[in-house]
Amino acid sequence: MWWVDPLDGTNNYALGIPLYGVCITLFHREQPVLGVIYDSHLEKVYTAEKGKGTFCNSQPLHMWKKRYFPKMTVGWIQGHQVQKERKAMALKQSLDERFKRVLRLWAPSLLWCMMARGDVDGIVLYNSEGEDLYAGVMMVREAGGAVFDFDGRLFDGMNPEPYLVACHPEDRDLFLHIVRDVLDEERKSV
């Protein structure tokens, strides 16, 4: 099965913001096996093939740990249906308070590529499943990153309502602790 998002970042494109691209994922038995993301503005092609690594214009990408908390830059991705959901806003606010910078590009595939090449230290994704998700997850995983759900389980396969964290494997506990703290506080206040 092929999933194609011909214009990831539609609103950015409509507003003239040069953050948009094309995102393609090939699935075999509901498992992503190939991801391709084209950064249209920068004319960069990112590819990730299961077990074979991540590449940008044929050059290999490998994640490496370079910044330390709280100097990290983190990406935020939320689904269109989330809107101003209380838990989502609490989590986003917590990230804003704890990290140097939180990016919200509205072109998720490009954010995943930024992480695969080391420009972003982590991504928190709140219920955002779509054509741009699985190629991005492959980019990060194949570059050496960890992708797991809010309960700490490695993310694999497909999920219609994903709640995910992606980061360098050494930062897993840090991110998981932050997410769990916020969600636990929200449960107590309900």
CATH of domain 73-189: 3.40.190.80
Q: What is the pLDDT of residues 71-120, one digit of tens each?
A: 899 999 999 889 889 999 999 999 999 999 999 999 999 999 999 999 99
Evaluate whether 54 touches 60 at the Cβ level (below 8 Å): yes
Domain range list for the chain: 2-61, 73-189
Residue 164 has what pLDDT?
Answer: 97
Residue 132 marked ligand-binding? yes
Sites in the chain below the pLDDT cut of 70: 190
119 is in an annotated binding site: no
Q: In this predicted structure, what is the pLDDT of residue 134?
A: 96
121 assigned to a ligand binding site: no
Q: Taking a C-beta distance cutoff of 8 angstroms, is the pair 113, 46 a contact?
A: yes
Q: Give the per-residue pLDDT at 190.
A: 60
| pLDDT (0 to 100) of residue 162 | 93
The verdict on whether residue 7 carries a ligand-binding annotation is yes
β-sheet bridge partners, residue 73: 101
The matching CATH number, chosen from 3.90.79.10, 3.30.540.10, 3.40.50.150, 1.10.1300.10, for 2-61 is 3.30.540.10
- List phi, psi (to 5°) of 12: -60, -45
Give the β-pairing of 59-61 and 101-103.
unpaired
Does pTM top 0.85 for this prediction? yes
CA atoms of 26 and 34, how far apart (whole Å):
5
pLDDT at 64: 81
